[in-house]
Amino acid sequence: MADTFPALLEARLRDALAKVVGDTPLPPDFAASVGPAQNAQFGDYQANAAMVLAKTLKANPRQIAAGIVEHFDAAGLCESPTIDGPGFVNFRLAADTLAARVRAMLADPEKLGVAPAAEPKTVVVDFSAPNVAKPMHVGHIRSTILGDCLARIARFLGHRVITDNHIGDWGTQFGMILWGWKHLLDEAALEKDPVGELLRLYREVNARQKEDEALRETCKAELVKLQNGDPENLAIWEKCVALSKRGLQRIYDLLDVRFDHWLGESYYNDRLAPLVEDLLARGIAEVSDGAVCVFFREIEALDGKPAIVRKSDGGFLYATTDLATIDHRVEEWGADAIWYVVGAPQQLHFDQIFAAAARRGITAELAFIPFGSILGKDKKMLRTRSGDTVQLADVLAEAVERARAIIEEKNPELDEAEKAEIARVIGIGSVKYAELSQYRMTDYVFDWDTMLSLKGNTAPYLINAYVRTRAIFRKLGGEFAGAETIALTEDAEKALALKLAQFAEAVPSVLNDFRPNALAAYLYELANTYHGFYEKCPILRAEGAARDTRLALCELTGRVLKKGLDLLGIATAERM
């Protein structure tokens, strides 16, 4: 597929600038960049190179801009550039250029003009990572949905992506669960709701041991027996993990989230002691008050904040496991990059881990991708009325239920199976889009009425835009049959063609600072542009080239909306 329009314009801008500046050396950090025009009435794209270079060239920016316009080769790409304001150079793409790009995108149904990454990498994406024997709560929404979206986009761009659900399946909670299993287990409840029963055991034993020192020591002894390979405790633990995975998988199935691996903390248990010994032998770690620590005295932000890799009692910590996990991902999977999609409060932990990994010679790109919190309407952390953490399964069930109520009201004539499927698509899609349309560090308010609205920047609005594209072809009684001619004559046609072409710019931009909201914003703009086109340009009443062109634009809009939503992890429906 051809380069994006900014890339094509930038290449010609560089050629023009070379003639303008002559032998004058340019600043080392200068780039002849082109971006979307701030005001569409002046053009489609814009460059501020003249203003950036004014000081270097000791010239008025508008004079430099005039030189750029004089030497710019617009042939076969755009109209002659224009100058605006203090020295902006504006570019308006030629109608034939846009029409050619529409034809090329229609001929590329899989990638729709998006070029593969210049340097494909093996990327491990670590996300979701709930604890075994506990239900996923609303806090897992962000990690699970963000991580899945980033994995989808990286894979679409040609990277080799490995997704790993690093579940918490080895820790102090198991001492309590083991004792509870042996003394308090309700077999019927376990059969009906395994994760719920395991959570009840944990909570009850945890409450009891706070008042009973002897029970606390007994639970610790149960954990030690497990860690030492006691057959009975190991069998109970394995059953707990299996039951938990089964419950988690139901939620992942509903969310359409898949993992290549579920390598929990327990997988690395045998690697921890050798790793600590290696850290000591290489002088990377040292003993301090009986504990083994990695100090970062040369890093101002981490000075006095060591990573503890073995406690004074011989126990290992998350830092130890995470370092062993990095080793596995680099050695066994050949990871060039590892992305951790984890809440912002873990910033210090990952700063320490990444610094320790670098000291050990790890050269893979390690990226911490933090996110903010989900709030209730009171702007506080989202909780149930009783003050408990909201469970993710309950959120998803309510989303589907609310979507079903809207469908019953608006389209009661649909059959039951279709209502159920549309409710699932709209409900789950609304929860996902509410997350992905926000900048990931934003604390956002979870509001059912907003996220399920057919108006505004929501999943139902975007899915409905897709449905409108498909409705055109249902009225025609068939699928898109191709267009003999694509001739863009109306401003609304050109605006839609330009926005469609910008899909190739929007998708790669997501991985710049890991911002799925950039793709969400693009899709919202596309839907708005399509609705404007739909209102201004009759489609089925048009004839000849105009009809062919408009049908082609409808078809391509539907394809881009569907593909874009799929990259966000959101399904579409043919009707609403």
User: How high is the pLDDT of residue 558?
Assistant: 98
User: How high is the pLDDT of residue 385?
Assistant: 58
Q: Which CATH number fits domain 5-93: 3.30.499.10, 3.30.460.10, 3.30.565.10, 3.30.1360.70?
A: 3.30.1360.70
26-72 pLDDT, tens digit per residue, is 888 899 999 999 888 999 999 999 999 998 899 999 999 999 999 99
Starting at the earlier edge strand, list the strands of the sheet with 286-288: 286-288, 291-294, 307-310
Q: Is the pLDDT of residue 94 over 60?
A: yes
For residues 92-99, give the mean pLDDT.
Answer: 97
185-196 pLDDT, tens digit per residue, is 999 999 888 888
For residues 400-408, give the mean pLDDT.
Answer: 94
500-533 pLDDT, tens digit per residue, is 999 999 999 999 999 999 999 999 999 999 999 9
Q: Is the pLDDT of residue 381 over 80?
A: no
Q: Is the pLDDT of residue 377 over 90?
A: no
The torsion region of residue 283 among left (phi > 0), alpha (psi -120 to 50) and beta comes to: left
| Domain boundary assignment for the chain | 5-93, 173-255, 392-567
Q: Is the pLDDT of residue 386 over 60?
A: no
User: How high is the pLDDT of residue 384?
Assistant: 58
**pLDDT classification of 242: cutoffs 50, 70, 90:** very high
Q: Is the pLDDT of residue 390 over 90?
A: no
For residues 108-122, give the mean pLDDT.
Answer: 97
User: How high is the pLDDT of residue 388?
Assistant: 67
Q: CA-to-CA distance for 220 and 172, rounded, in angstroms?
A: 8
**pLDDT classification of 387: cutoffs 50, 70, 90:** low
Q: Is the pLDDT of residue 211 over 70?
A: yes
**pLDDT classification of 227: cutoffs 50, 70, 90:** confident
Q: CA-to-CA distance for 23 and 484, rounded, in angstroms?
A: 49
User: How high is the pLDDT of residue 26?
Assistant: 85
SS3 83: strand
Cα–Cα distances in angstroms (integers) from residue 262 to residues 137, 160, 241, 242, 331, in the given order: 19, 18, 11, 12, 17
Q: How would CATH label the architecture of 392-567?
A: Orthogonal Bundle (1.10)
The position carrying tokens 């904040």 is 305
Of 485, 522, 482, 470, the residue nearest 501 (C-alpha): 522
CA 80 to chain centre: 39
- Which of 94-108, 409-423, 469-483 has the highest average model confidence (pLDDT)? 94-108
447-473 pLDDT, tens digit per residue, is 899 999 999 999 999 999 999 999 999
Q: Is the pLDDT of residue 258 over 90?
A: yes
